[in-house]
């Protein structure tokens, strides 16, 4: 069985749309989310990607005139994490012309703009489509006031080439030979891929420490089995030691602090659980009826 076409980047997963997905999107976001295995934000769709666009795309898909991936793609954030979220769409407007020209466009939800996601997605899609030897150049159209879009295109290698095909737009062209396989460097003030991943790792460490502390408190209120006393202590010491060992491997001082907090939380967990167990040597308190 042929594997489904999916593109992976450091932070994103790109999934080509099909007729079933578009029908689900038109009928309701819940069904689309189930197909993609991702959360659909309440403010979906992004600007310029409304119902009329969906209907036009659906007509093309139902005509079965296009290869998979030659129209629009869904952009999903955090592909390998537990929380996957649909943040935008990008894609092409059909198969290459006889001259080998293909047009690309994209749209990202406002909340996720200025993080480099659009450039990451567009760069990946262009690299994929250029595997088709019939594609000689990629074009894009943008309005004069869309400065951010123009900067993105230039970073990837596009050059302005006069008036666009649509009224009031500027045409940008990327010849096949000008495409660079390395992802362009972000401009000052924008988050790089590395910084974004590092920030996510720190948030995860913070959440993990808080989770252990909360978990210990909850378990300590539930269990009242003296036989678990020693196991609780062993667990706290074991996880604390592991956190210390991992800490020594990190050079980043902030990361070290977070792992130490994890160790402290684990110790607290062990103490919380073990403290609620009654000492086996103590006599049980007599009830009022026994007295």
pLDDT of residue 196: 45
The highest-level CATH class for domain 7-178 is alpha beta
List, for residues 212-225, the tens digit of each pLDDT value.
555 555 455 555 55
pLDDT of residue 178: 96
The alpha carbons of the chain give a radius of gyration, in whole angstroms, of 27
d(CA 48, CA 52): 10
Structure tokens at 221: 């209120």
pLDDT of residue 246: 47
Residue of 119, 255, 116 whose CA lies nearest to 194: 116
pLDDT of residue 235: 58
d(CA 241, CA 244): 5
**Ranges of each domain in the chain:** 7-178, 193-275
Residues of the chain with pLDDT under 50: 1, 188-189, 191-208, 218, 246-247, 249-251, 278, 280-291
Q: Does this model's pTM top 0.85?
A: no
Structure tokens at 53: 């666009």
């Amino acid at each position: 069985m042929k594997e489904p076409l999916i593109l992976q980047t450091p932070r994103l997963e790109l999934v080509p749309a099909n007729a079933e997905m578009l029908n689900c999107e038109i009928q309701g976001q819940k069904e689309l989310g189930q197909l993609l295995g991702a959360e659909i934000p309440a403010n979906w769709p992004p600007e310029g990607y409304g119902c009329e666009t969906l209907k036009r795309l659906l007509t093309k898909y139902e005509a079965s005139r296009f290869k998979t991936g030659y129209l629009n793609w869904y952009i999903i954030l955090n592909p390998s994490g537990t929380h996957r979220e649909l943040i935008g769409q990008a894609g092409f407007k059909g198969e290459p012309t006889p001259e080998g020209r293909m047009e690309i466009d994209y749209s990202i939800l406002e909340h996720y703009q200025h993080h480099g996601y659009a450039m990451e997605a567009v760069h990946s899609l262009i690299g994929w489509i250029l595997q088709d030897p019939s594609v000689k150049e990629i074009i894009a159209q943008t309005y004069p006031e869309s400065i951010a879009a123009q900067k993105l295109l230039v970073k990837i290698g596009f050059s302005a080439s006069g008036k666009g095909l649509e009224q009031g737009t500027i045409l940008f062209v990327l010849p096949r030979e000008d495409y660079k396989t390395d992802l362009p460097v972000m401009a000052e003030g924008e988050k790089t891929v590395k910084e974004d991943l590092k920030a996510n790792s720190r948030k995860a460490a913070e959440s993990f420490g808080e989770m252990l502390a909360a978990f210990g408190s909850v378990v300590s209120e539930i269990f009242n089995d003296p036989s678990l006393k020693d196991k609780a202590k062993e667990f706290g010491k074991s996880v604390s030691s592991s956190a210390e060992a991992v800490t020594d491997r990190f050079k980043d001082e902030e990361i070290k602090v977070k792992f130490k907090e994890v160790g402290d939380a684990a110790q607290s967990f062990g103490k919380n659980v073990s403290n609620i167990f009654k000492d086996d040597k103590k006599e049980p308190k007599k009830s009022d009826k026994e007295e």
